[in-house]
Copies of this chain bind each other. A is one copy, B any other.
Amino acid sequence: MDKNIPYKIYLGEEELPRQWYNVRADMKIKPAPLLNPATKQPVTLEEMSKIFCTELARQELDNENAYIDIPAEILDFYKMYRPAPLVRAYFLEKALDTPAKIYYKFEGNNTSGSHKLNSAIAQAYYAKKQGLKGVTTETGAGQWGTALSMACSYFGLDCKVYMVKVSYEQKPFRREVMRTYGADVTPSPSDTTKVGREILKKFPGTTGSLGCAISEAVEKAVTSEGYRYVLGSVLSQVLLHQSVIGLEAMAACDKFDIKPDIIIGCAGGGSNLGGLISPFMGRKLRGEADYRFIAVEPASCPSLTRGRYAYDFCDTGMVCPLSKMYTLGSSFIPSANHAGGLRYHGMSSVLSELYDEGLIEARSVEQTSVFEAATQFARIEGTLPAPESSHAIRAAIDEALKCKETGEEKTILFGLTGTGYFDMTAYQKFNDGNMSDYIPTDDELEKSLSQLPDIN
């Protein structure tokens, strides 16, 4: 154990970042603009403001300002659970017998159980400031819905969550946390929207999909006076808010003279990975330092490693703007991978551009090996990780084991985005030996990719 570095590095409240960092400002090639699906032209602030809060739409379109002040009300809320600890994985290092130094930034120390709260509170704040009554959203696995419920409860905003029906029924505890925070949770498809009623008529007995839930949430927002729609990942505004993860991690590293060689995060829509790496990427883009960045995605939903960099719909319902990103096609239906938060066909346009330029690496890992890493980590480091986060753990362990072979003393930093307390059904499957892996065939991917919009 290194005497100079404690197990858990907690920054003081006064060291909490006062500004978010917008990596787009330092990118030489900016992410391609969002397009209006009807006109195929870049969406304007005005168009966007019909769906999103105006200030958030502004942040979405801002490729210029590197730093954006975090409002005092959001800082106050952040202080309830931030700064989040940077943990030195001494026990894991010892168990792996590796010369590598392993650190993880832990974002699970709050009731939503993940990093999602960082953006939820920001989005709720801007909605409140705009004088709105409430917001609508969809949730699949439930982490985003929980975080948004907490944020809305704090600001006294109404929160309408469309929860994919199969999750609503199979994850009653997630649903109850949202209800405890006063959210109105509706299983989707529902009879509360036109699109929901149409789907129910066409497919009676359907258990729903994320695409349908998004469509219902968007319809509810645009047809209700004083409501807007909010989204927990993929968007550039979300990456901006999540930069607080990376800023804190970087401040802690700088304070203790820790120099990461490799920075690893799981990648679904990109909110956690983008947030963690943004400030480090900024240094790399400005030529101040160099790092290897690794995005880890499930082999069952491999948008970076097997997708195409093209314009596509962000939602299955095809109501949102078109985004240029690594995608498997918006009609791609991911298999039942238990990391619900990573079952997304596309990827943040910011990360997609950085990956296309070779500034980020990507790899895919299979579910069973992810749960092996999760269980190993839980037993050694004492924290039961979320399946999503465990993709990053898998890659971190693999890199540490490579160091053992080569004898290199690399410093590895990964994002531990959350806890797995609401994912015990998946752990049970693994504990019972009933977990299987699934990798889509080339034909399957070709089929969904062939349905990309004709703008490409």
Contact = CB atoms under 8 A, between A and B. Distances in A.
Interface in A63-92: 77, 79-81, 91
Nearest to A173: B424
Contacts of A36: none
A173 B110 CA distance: 19
Nearest to A429: B176
A176 B6 contact: no
A438 interface: no
Residue among A10, A419, A425 facing the most chain B CB atoms (10 A cut-off): A10
A7 B78 CA distance: 10
Given A79-B8, A172-B428, A154 B379 contact: yes
Interface in A394-427: 419, 421-422, 424-425, 427
Residue among A12, A177, A381, A382 facing the most chain B CB atoms (10 A cut-off): A382
A384 B180 contact: yes
B422 A81 contact: no
A451 to B, nearest CB: 39
Given A12-B6, A177-B424, A180-B378, A384 B111 contact: yes
A135 to B, nearest CB: 17
Given A7-B80, A10-B10, A384-B111, A153 B379 contact: yes
A13 interface: yes
A375 B421 contact: no
Given A79-B7, A421-B422, A177 B384 contact: yes
A383 interface: yes
A91 B81 CA distance: 13
A126 interface: no
Given A173-B424, A422-B421, A424-B172, A431 B180 contact: yes
Interface string A163-196: 0000000001100110111100000000000000
Contacts of A425: 173, 176
Contacts of A6: 12-13, 79
Nearest to A156: B379
12 contacts: A6-B13, A6-B79, A8-B79, A80-B91, A109-B109, A113-B421, A150-B382, A173-B421, A179-B427, A180-B379, A180-B384, A181-B378
Nearest to A87: B80
Contacts of A378: 111, 180-181
Given A6-B12, A7-B13, A110-B382, 6 more contacts: A8-B79, A10-B10, A80-B381, A177-B421, A179-B428, A180-B427
Contact of A180 (B10, B172, B375): B375
Contacts of A173: 173, 421, 424-425
A148 to B, nearest CB: 13
Contacts of A10: 10
Contacts of A428: 172, 176, 179
Residue among A153, A176, A383 facing the most chain B CB atoms (10 A cut-off): A176
Contact of A419 (B91, B111, B182): B111
Contacts of A424: 172-173, 176-177
Interface string A93-113: 000000000000000011101
A8 B14 CA distance: 12
Nearest to A383: B111
A111 B172 contact: no
B80 A382 contact: yes
Contacts of A113: 421
A173 B80 CA distance: 27
Interface in A116-154: 150, 153-154
Interface in A231-261: none
Contacts of A111: 378, 382-384, 419
A421 B111 CA distance: 8
A415 B7 CA distance: 25
4 pairs of A and B residues whose beta carbons are closest in the complex: A173-B424, A176-B424, A7-B79, A421-B421
A107 to B, nearest CB: 13
B381 A182 contact: no
